[in-house]
Structure 1
Amino acid sequence: MRNLDVCRNIYSRARSSNASVSLVAPRNALHFTFAAAKVSRDPAEVWSWSWWGNESHSPEDFDWMVDYLDFIYSDDHESAYDILLLLGSVGVCCRPAKQHLFIERLIACMDSNMPLHLRHAALRAAHSAREQIASMDAIDDSTLRDMILTKLSLAILSVLCPHPGTTPANDDPNLFFNYGRDLCYLRLVFALARNSDWHPHLFGDRHIDRCISMIPRYCNSRYYEHSFFVAGILLQITPEQTSVTSLDSVTEQQWWDVTRSAWWYPSHIDNTRYLKLLLVLVDGTKKYMQFASKSDLEQLIRDVDNFVE
């Protein structure tokens, strides 16, 4: 990606000059890169799933972004937003030596004292790095593993929660439910739930409670993608967590709502990582279909037929 190479070179020259005013140049270069790629910087569009082609990038290509983020995140929120938006758009693939710094700055940018659009961009960057975060058992650095499981897990959930004592207006993006933000979050937690090492932390940090709270909102025909990931999260962890009290709040009818609505999405699946979930979804459907109405069963047959075809 030519423009990213230009940004990296401009940033390297700016840092070597030791003049803080020169950081205007890399900031402008980033803005040009967004404009050339037709990627909006508008915070209202932070959840749009636009990707910049299928080019592959080496971890070294992103090291400078992590360094840049580290250098400016505390006092230049707009540039930090640009870097996180960039990482969330092209993917995160840092070298092991930079992973610790990246996670630290991600947590810092999710802090409740940060601007909301910066916190949202940080959540999207975490979503982009979800496979690395989910595979924390493969990380040799024990300090980094502990930070991911303790601080990052809580920081991720905090982005979804309105500030204490506030009453959001109807058009406030900090609403308890937000379509794009919640889908980003569910995709991230779904990836984490595929690793059983994450399960105690998903319960302990109340991610599962958050997912359960989404059932009435999203497990219906209007939000089939959300439904699929809610089902994927809950069905992947319940077999080994039967004693967890938070799941006691889910009624049998809600379990049926979760499983039946999840079938509206599989026809869109083209990723092998979801195949294991389909097996779990089949078992869950058989278990809870006794609570289905006749019309629900007829719709289920149509949905399964669409998937098989």
Structure 2
Amino acid sequence: LRAVFDARLQLVEIADGKEGDSEFRKKLLTDFPSALLTTTKLVAPQLSIHDPDSIFNPGREYFYLRLIFTLAKQSDWRDQLEKAGHIDRCVVLLDHVMKNFSTGSSEPVKNHPYYLAGTLIRLDASDSYRSSGFADKISELEWWELLKGAWSAMWWNDLYREDEPLEALPGIVAYTLESLETEAAKYDSKSLVRVVDRIYEALKDEEAQPDIISAVKNVKDRLDSSGS
């Protein structure tokens, strides 16, 4: 998995390339998503049957999420990953990720919420939680908690300094603005104020792209207005 992860950008280039080996490209797009799903299937080790979260391997899931996070930005990969069932696999990961992230576990679950939220948004490509293919599997509250985790992960792990995570930030922003209108966030939006403020200021200090800064400012302004 690590080797494939390291080659993720090349895999995107292969899918983008229309003039290369078309048969190889077609076979890769068709076969790889299913093979990836099979090799990363959540299976509890027999020696750990007494551990309720033994099927969750933070290191493996980190590379898995970052891999499909990158692949899903390319339309052909996105279609094949969705068809193979990777949205459902991400849904299964949600509870494990948030459980280990929110409890301050010693396990290295630091970036996972950001890449999980970003991956689901990219894989679904509906531009709305309400019309997404996972709304019937992830409740409004669960989705809101994941988005909050994504913002926290971005801040505490300096993801705002990295190009790959930043590419997905407009999507995180759009879904956050939508979630702020729900009952799940109605009495909880203040919990996001400080981290969004910090990210906004950090992006300005880093001289990030104006559209990225503007997008985060939209969330900042919405949070400020809801708290006034």
TM over 0.5: yes
- 1:134 & 1:176 partners in 2: Cα distance? 29
- 2:175 & 2:127 partners in 1: Cα distance? 15
1:221-232 equivalences under 5 Å are 221=102, 222=104, 223-232=109-118
The alignment partner of 2:47 has SS state of coil
Question: Is 1:203 aligned to 2:91, yes or no?
Answer: no
**1:299 aligned to which of 178, 191, 195:** 191
Equivalence for 1:153: 33
User: Structure 1 residues 246 and 305 mapped into 2: Cα distance closer, same or farther (>3 Å)?
Assistant: closer
Equivalence for 1:277: 168
- 1:191 & 1:128 partners in 2: Cα distance? 11
Letter aligned with residue 175 of structure 2: G
Equivalence for 2:22: 142
The alignment partner of 1:176 has SS state of coil
Q: Pairwise CA RMSD of aligned residues?
A: 2.6
Question: Is 1:261 aligned to 2:152, yes or no?
Answer: no
Task: Give the structure, 1 or 2, with the largest relative contact order (CA under 8 Å, sep 6 or more).
Answer: 2
Q: Which runs of 5+ in 2 are unaligned?
A: 202-228
TM-score by length of 2: 0.70
Equivalence for 1:179: 58
1:5-16 equivalences under 5 Å are none
User: Structure 1 residues 181 and 263 mapped into 2: Cα distance closer, same or farther (>3 Å)?
Assistant: same
- 2:77 & 2:135 partners in 1: Cα distance? 17
Query: Would the aligned equivalents of 2:73 and 2:122 in 1 still touch at CA under 8 Å?
Result: yes
- 2:140 & 2:124 partners in 1: Cα distance? 14
Query: Would the aligned equivalents of 1:231 and 1:258 in 2 still touch at CA under 8 Å?
Result: yes
1:218-244 per-position Cα deviation (integer Å, ceiling 9, x unaligned): 134343411000111112233438877
1:22-41 equivalences under 5 Å are none
| Alpha-carbon shift at residue 301 of structure 1 (Å) | 0.7
User: Structure 1 residues 159 and 237 mapped into 2: Cα distance closer, same or farther (>3 Å)?
Assistant: closer
Q: How many residues align?
A: 183
Query: Would the aligned equivalents of 1:160 and 1:176 in 2 still touch at CA under 8 Å?
Result: no
Q: Which has more radius of gyration? A: 1
TM-score by length of 1: 0.53
Query: Would the aligned equivalents of 2:81 and 2:123 in 1 still touch at CA under 8 Å?
Result: no
- 1:254 & 1:308 partners in 2: Cα distance? 25
1:204-229 per-position Cα deviation (integer Å, ceiling 9, x unaligned): 11111111111111134343411000
- 1:245 & 1:308 partners in 2: Cα distance? 30
Query: Would the aligned equivalents of 2:65 and 2:112 in 1 still touch at CA under 8 Å?
Result: yes
Query: Would the aligned equivalents of 2:45 and 2:55 in 1 still touch at CA under 8 Å?
Result: no
Query: Would the aligned equivalents of 1:224 and 1:264 in 2 still touch at CA under 8 Å?
Result: no
The alignment partner of 1:132 has SS state of helix
Query: Would the aligned equivalents of 2:5 and 2:66 in 1 still touch at CA under 8 Å?
Result: yes
Letter aligned with residue 292 of structure 1: A
Equivalence for 1:168: 46
Equivalence for 2:96: 217
1:21-54 per-position Cα deviation (integer Å, ceiling 9, x unaligned): xxxxxxxxxxxxxxxxxxxxxxxxxxxxxxxxxx
Query: Would the aligned equivalents of 2:72 and 2:123 in 1 still touch at CA under 8 Å?
Result: yes
- 1:236 & 1:178 partners in 2: Cα distance? 23
